[in-house]
Structure 1
């Protein structure tokens, strides 16, 4: 393939890419959305009929995914809306498995690990890569969002397992997963595969954000600060809106932004 054709293909893929660049802004927003989804999910379930809450979460997820798949390139507010809805619904899914079905956190965590592994295997078998820089087709994007949903459910179950089953509490769980989150950063310095490092970090950010947001929101009787699910959800939502608005204006999370004449 000559350089001009390769460059043209690269530009076309940049135009059609459906995910943001992995920057500090990405990880900050990711942690904030995981925390917001965790506490807001609990707020909905505790303040309205749980069945209605799950239904609303599912509808919100479907609507946001329809928006995401309908656009031809990455749009910050749509992308992060999907992540928030995945966070909310993923929390609900993990909680339903434990609370409604009575399945222990260890079993549900193991189940979601296996489910995630299967998704990775199928994705790699078909697409030959797990890189997020390959997300510019409907099929690769479908694999991506299935993976994201599985990581959120896994992170929720794992965080609850360490907090409740292992009796570490929410703060202790947050510290544990924060330490684990540092592994891919250190591993990257010593040659750890970039794709492996990314997905490991992506999985760990879920229990980090969820554990600390739970710790801030739950009452003292449950080992938390006791600020409440509603206020914490509102504060995190405001911060996320401001941050996503900033990214929308500045395009700090977009690489190789095409010229206006190339915009679709």
Structure 2
């Protein structure tokens, strides 16, 4: 089967809208997990079960799709953001695993996913998510980035006691440094993308905690309801815009195939 006959690329083009929704989704993941767990009284275990089922259903829809559809794609991202937070919270709160250990474990899990992905497909580029196997590796990597980001963000802000807002500033500064290095051609596109993608998770988590946590804990004390609703609505508005404008739509398979034949992805 030729590349042109495969399904179209299943992920969006990386635009400014991509990064905005990504940060919004990560913030929602942090605040919504706390909202469901504590404010609505579901408890950590039942919240995890419910969100895992919803995520599995949304992912099934995404996998069956033959092309990038904004609402399907971003629904999975938002739900995986919540699940990634819950996985880390379960390990730390229910099983007593230190944040240092969870951070290391998820970092290794993500690295192994990338190694297996590259060994199998010879690329980690998000411009070549044409097959079911590549998409499976992609979503596994996304899950581990969210779990890793939650652990790393909590480790820096709470365990090392840097604070939520300063932690967000640190992660934002590193992301800016990565972007600068990429612009200066010091980093490749694939490495720069995934490095920034990983770091946007603790950035969003730190911002979410800063907004929702009490003033005594170093936050603004806004609670989980308000930030969750605001960031979720903002995400919905942007997804509707992307659906109508298609400014981040990927190319048709035949066009993408011609480009792939003309160059080799890292």
TM-score by length of structure 1 reads 0.91
Is 1:177 matched up with 2:160? no
Structure 1 residue corresponding to 2:16, chosen from 24, 30, 43: 24
The aligned residue for residue 107 of structure 2 is 113
The aligned residue for residue 229 of structure 2 is 234
The aligned residue for residue 131 of structure 1 is 125
Q: Please identify, of 154-163 and 230-239, the stretch whose mean Cα deviation from structure 2 is larger.
A: 230-239
* Distance across 1 between alignment mates of 2:100 and 2:166: 18
Q: Please identify, of 52-61 and 76-85, the stretch whose mean Cα deviation from structure 2 is larger.
A: 52-61
Task: Check 1:9–1:111 CA distance in 2 against 1; reply closer, same or farther (3 A cut).
Answer: closer
- 4+ residue runs over 3 A deviation: 255-258
Q: Deviations over 1:152-203 (max 9, x none)?
A: 0000000000011110111111011111111220111222110000000000
* Distance across 2 between alignment mates of 1:155 and 1:138: 26
Is 1:74 matched up with 2:68? yes
* Distance across 2 between alignment mates of 1:51 and 1:104: 18
Q: Please identify, of 175-184 and 245-254, the stretch whose mean Cα deviation from structure 2 is larger.
A: 175-184
- The total of aligned residue pairs comes to 250
Structure 1 residue corresponding to 2:32, chosen from 40, 51, 55: 40
TM-score by length of structure 2 reads 0.91
CA RMSD of aligned residues (A): 1.6
* Ranges in structure 1 where 5+ consecutive residues have no aligned partner: 1-7, 259-264
Report how far residue 227 of structure 1 moved.
0.9
Report the secondary structure of 2:202's partner residue: helix
